[in-house]
Amino acid sequence: MRSEHQDISIVIVGEAGQGIQTVEQLFVSLLHKMNYYVFSTKEYMSRVRGGSNSTEIRAFLLPINSFVDRIDILIILDENAFAHISHRVSDDTIIIGDESMVSSISHPHVFSFDLVNSAKKIGNMVYANTIAVGLLASLFHIYPNELKNHISSFFSHKSKKIIDDNIQAVNKGLSFGQTLSSSIAISKQGKPSQKTDNPNPLLLLNGTQAIGLGALAAGVNFISSYPMSPSTGVLTYLANHGKKANVFVEQAEDEIAAINMALGAWYTGARALVTTSGGGFALMSEGLSLAAMTETPIVIHVAQRPGPATGLPTRTEQGDLQLARYAGHGEFPRIIYAPGTLQEGFFLTKNAFDMADKYQIPVIILSDQYFVDSKYQTSSFLELDKKPNHHIVKTTSSYKRYELDQSGVSPRGIPGYGSGFVCVDSDEHDEYGRITESSQVRKQMVEKRLQKMQYIRNKSILPTLYGSIDYDTLLIGWGSTIHTIEEARKQLNDNTISFLHFSQVYPFHPKTEKYLKTADRIITIENNATAQFAHILAEETGFSSDAHILQYTGHPFSVETLVQKIPETIHAMEGKK
């Protein structure tokens, strides 16, 4: 087993439809309640049932929030699942499963239990999941009464019989776990308090929830989307809270309708969000240009997955950055945020609405499957009680929707608020919004729209530097790679290596170049095949990356991969000198 000074990595593997997510939700929320730091993420196939899915749960006494290949405890809930995960199994891994599922596995640490028959005796095979939770709880020395109370609370919306059956299942798991206490030693030394009357002050959230909460804090009151994994969670999150938060939710017939509905909502004064993935965003390109020409604000959340076409619809990749940067015909300003932490997910989403509203531009929030599905703890979000800023004017009879202004931002009125006429058009137009083909007016309007970029750049978010300010090697990452790169950097324990994280990937703040000038070598780390961010970095700053570490398997980087790849890349560059 791992040392008491290291975290425990648990992986649960089984078929889709078998209830693995229930095990994750039950056990992660239990560890959180017991004041452990936890991190969980999942990988799943694009099918309703069958296949092999897995969930990783890390638990420690210190904050942890990144993916590792290492498996300390492997729970097998399907006989075909081991082959799917076997490349991550080491001689130190503890393998636990039903007798029928692990009997053929040749490994020094295999423990079999009668999980399936025990679940059937309780009343349903699904209770094998709850038995597994009880077994894990026993290994973490969680008191039976605490576990029973947690189960009762978790299933409080179910019938008394289901609650009682689940309690019986976890008790069975506890008894199984007690037989392993001498073989699997998870130290109690330094263990957090088990007093649940002192609740954990941290929030346990995933990326979907952070983005949803950020939208609510920004005053979103309309969302129109067509379901597309992995973005659908934001739609369902706002739908679940829509009535209480006064959010109108529309599942559109397609992505084209979704963005046009949202533009119509913004035109009338609403704050609208569209959530989609790469394929859906591709269909929205014309709507994106419509937003630019009419100078109508729009906020679009794009949760990336591997393409082209359907690609790997339930996996992760950072492959849509250039799509977000260049989508739409014509030339117009935009902002692209790429949250990597839950705090960034919340505050960047909130900021996206304010910037879209203020500058009357499209703002894109670029996440990915790994970000939206990963769950861990974060401190509370401040400023929740601050009301959003609405940049809407009351019109007069002399109102000009596209009045020329040095900032490029014209006063935005909405129909019915004031005595003015609010005219917008997708054709080129004059200051009043009326169609024109005047070359002089065309030139003025293009320059007016592009002038916004000067002000937007100055309000852009500077990247965050991790490590020493006296570095030779500068690692550069963006979005969801932040925690994995930073954990790898810390493990390397080399003060000459620092890490620069970008949460705004377009445009860059003018002071970004100061970080790049200091580096002897720049290495970009991206979950794509063509180093898309490195190209934007060179375009925006004139600084080219010296090397890239790229992954495009559909899986996130692991800490172990980067601990290996970073020194290898540096040594390879030094060898070329």
Residue range 34-84, pLDDT digits in tens: 999 999 999 988 776 667 889 999 999 899 999 999 999 999 988 888 888
Tell me: pLDDT of 5 over 70: no
Mean pLDDT calculated for residue range 502-510: 97
Residue 519: what pLDDT?
97
67-81, 170-184, 316-330, 525-539: least confident range:
170-184
Do residues 314 and 369 lie in contact, with contact meaning Cβ atoms separated by under 8 Å?
yes
Mean pLDDT calculated for residue range 324-341: 98
List Cα–Cα distances, 554 to 202, 273, 472, 528, in angstroms: 31, 27, 31, 9
Do residues 217 and 384 lie in contact, with contact meaning Cβ atoms separated by under 8 Å?
yes
The Cβ of residue 196 has, within 10 Å, a number of other Cβ atoms equal to 16
Residue range 524-564, pLDDT digits in tens: 999 999 999 999 999 999 999 999 999 999 999 999 999 99
Mean pLDDT calculated for residue range 164-180: 92
Q: Select, from the ranges 73-77, 115-119, 368-372, the one with the highest average predicted confidence (pLDDT).
A: 368-372
User: CA-to-CA distance for 356 and 220, rounded, in angstroms?
Assistant: 12
469 vs 575 pLDDT, higher one: 469
Return mean pLDDT, the chain.
Answer: 93
List Cα–Cα distances, 454 to 531, 536, 541, in angstroms: 27, 18, 15
Token pair recorded at residue 362: 């499209």
Tell me: pLDDT of 26 over 90: yes
Do residues 431 and 402 lie in contact, with contact meaning Cβ atoms separated by under 8 Å?
yes
Percent of the chain with pLDDT over 70: 95
The overall longest dimension of the chain from CA atoms, in Å, is: 84
Band of residue 182 on the pLDDT scale cut at 50, 70, 90: low
With residue 169 as reference, give the H or E element that holds it.
Answer: helix 160-178
Residue 205: what pLDDT?
97
Band of residue 369 on the pLDDT scale cut at 50, 70, 90: very high
Q: What is the pTM of this model?
A: 0.95
Residue 189: what pLDDT?
45
CA angle (418 as vertex; 413, 421 as ends), nearest 5 = 60
Band of residue 375 on the pLDDT scale cut at 50, 70, 90: very high
User: CA-to-CA distance for 498 and 483, rounded, in angstroms?
Assistant: 13
Is the link from the previous residue into 201 a cis peptide, with omega within 30 of 0? no
Percent of the chain with pLDDT over 90: 81
Residue 84: what pLDDT?
87
With residue 9 as reference, give the H or E element that holds it.
Answer: strand 8-16
With residue 51 as reference, give the H or E element that holds it.
Answer: strand 50-60
Number of Cα atoms under 13 Å in the Cβ half of residue 146: 22
Residue 197: what pLDDT?
58
The distance from CA 126 to its chain's CA centroid, rounded to whole angstroms, is: 29
Q: Which domains does the chain have, with CATH numbers?
A: 8-192 (3.40.920.10), 204-378 (3.40.50.970), 392-450 (no CATH), 464-576 (3.40.50.920)
Which contacts (CB < 8 Å, 24+ apart) does range 422-425 have?
Answer: 422/267, 422/395, 424/267, 424/294, 424/295, 424/296, 425/293, 425/294
80 vs 24 pLDDT, higher one: 24
Residue 6: what pLDDT?
77
Residue 188: what pLDDT?
60
Tell me: pLDDT of 126 over 90: no
Residue 125: what pLDDT?
87
Tell me: pLDDT of 194 over 60: no
Residue range 254-306, pLDDT digits in tens: 999 999 999 999 999 999 999 999 999 999 999 999 999 999 999 999 999 99
Question: Which residue blocks in 73-159 are alpha helix, DSSP H?
Answer: 81-85, 99-102, 115-122, 127-139, 144-154
Is 486 buried (19+), middle (13-18) or exposed (0-12) by CB count in 10 A?
buried
Write out the E strands in 461-538.
464-466, 473-478, 497-502, 504-506, 521-526
Residue range 222-233, pLDDT digits in tens: 999 999 999 999
